[in-house]
Amino acid sequence: MRSALCSVLVCGVAISAAAQERVVTFEEPPPVTVTGFAVGRADYGRVARANTFTAGKIGLSLFKPVGSAYLFAQLTTALDGGVASTDIDNLLVSWTPQHANRWALAFGRFDAPIGFERDDEPLNLIATNSFNFTYARPSKLTGVQVHYTASPRLDVWAAAANGWDVVTDNNRGKTALARAQWIPMPWVTLGVTGAYGPERDATDAHQRSLFSSDLTVDRGRLIVGAELNAGREQNGGAGALTWRGVAATAFWRVTRNLGLAARYDQMEDSDGLLTGTSQILRSVTVGPMWYFSSASEGIFSNIEHTRFHLPQIALRGAVRADWSSQPFFTDASGALQGSDTKAVLELVYIF
């Protein structure tokens, strides 16, 4: 009797759907995947004579597939100067044509496809960002990008964006970006990126150009990531303003749950365009990382271009020594010093 009733109900649904010319499916729609991370830190600065504990950052990510498209969004709340603010860190709508699945078109705010370092702490192997990441290249772009997978070893990107790290455009021009990424062997990834466009407020003059190349090597227990940046900006009849920099990070897996990271970073801001001071900045950072468990699959799953699966819990320590060819680091009295030393203990939890 029960079986007969079920059959009648199913037939009734099918007939109703046919009458309305609608396809019926008993499959549940894909759910929204929620992931994220939280960061707590303890910092000590020698020049500033300051030490502090900070429950400083939480990121909440949403992922929703819809047919051949998906939505990815990330809200990040962070402390900056003791004040908390919430930003739309990423908001990306991506579409891959069903009959041309090597192509992907995306619009929104996204990580610039440049270099080895990233904005979010879980995606880095060391507890501080380099001078190259901070000054020499953009980390975020807002605009449209096209991605083409030419082969399993070659990818190409093209993008048009508002400008370097700006949410709304600060002038009428747009910044163009092109990137090619090649995997010559399974454990090596090479990338070359070029960007061009106006970056100053309220003017389309003074076009800025950037050439950036990056290298990632993953040899199992050893990961090496390096990037080279060289740029120039037109300055009217006074000639071009230039800068260049290099950063290299190495990570050695000592044991299953312990690793050691080190980075050398140098940036030459010859004309003071990026930092406001004509100088050469250098830094050396070293520190261990203790990590436990593995994070669930999602946007925060692997260090980019490597097989290193992100841990759910990571405790990272770092000692960083900074130097400048000119006084640049502000001390406790407000005066500028030519060097600084910092210590960081950072806890990263991925959920």
**Contact of 216 with 116, CB cutoff 8 Å:** yes
Q: Mind listing the pLDDT tens digit for each residue in 116-169? A: 999 999 999 999 999 999 999 999 999 999 999 999 999 999 999 999 999 999
- The answer to the question of residue 79 being in a domain is no
- Alpha-carbon distance of 168 to 181, in angstroms, equals 28
- The answer to the question of residue 99 being in a domain is no
- The answer to the question of residue 346 being in a domain is yes
- The answer to the question of residue 104 being in a domain is no
- The answer to the question of residue 222 being in a domain is yes
Domain with 178, as residue range(s), is 31-56+112-350
- The answer to the question of residue 67 being in a domain is no
The domain spanning residue 218 has which CATH number? 2.40.160.10
Q: Please report the pLDDT score of residue 294 as a whole number.
A: 85
Pairing mode, strands 175-185 and 336-337? unpaired
Q: Rounded to the nearest 5°, which phi and psi values hold at 268?
A: -105, 105
**Percent of the chain as helix, strand, coil, to the nearest 5:** 10, 55, 35
The one-character DSSP state at 26 is -
- State how many domains the chain has: 1
Question: Across the strands, what pairs with 157?
Answer: 147, 179
Tokens found for residue 277: 């001071």
- The answer to the question of residue 162 being in a domain is yes
Whole-model pTM: value is 0.88
Q: Mind listing the pLDDT tens digit for each residue in 178-234? A: 999 999 999 999 999 999 999 999 999 999 999 999 999 999 999 999 999 999 999
- Alpha-carbon distance of 271 to 244, in angstroms, equals 11
* Long-range contacts of 78-85, Cβ-Cβ distance < 8 Å, separation of 24 or more: 79/54, 79/55
- The answer to the question of residue 21 being in a domain is no
Q: Mind listing the pLDDT tens digit for each residue in 293-325? A: 888 766 668 899 999 999 999 999 999 999 999
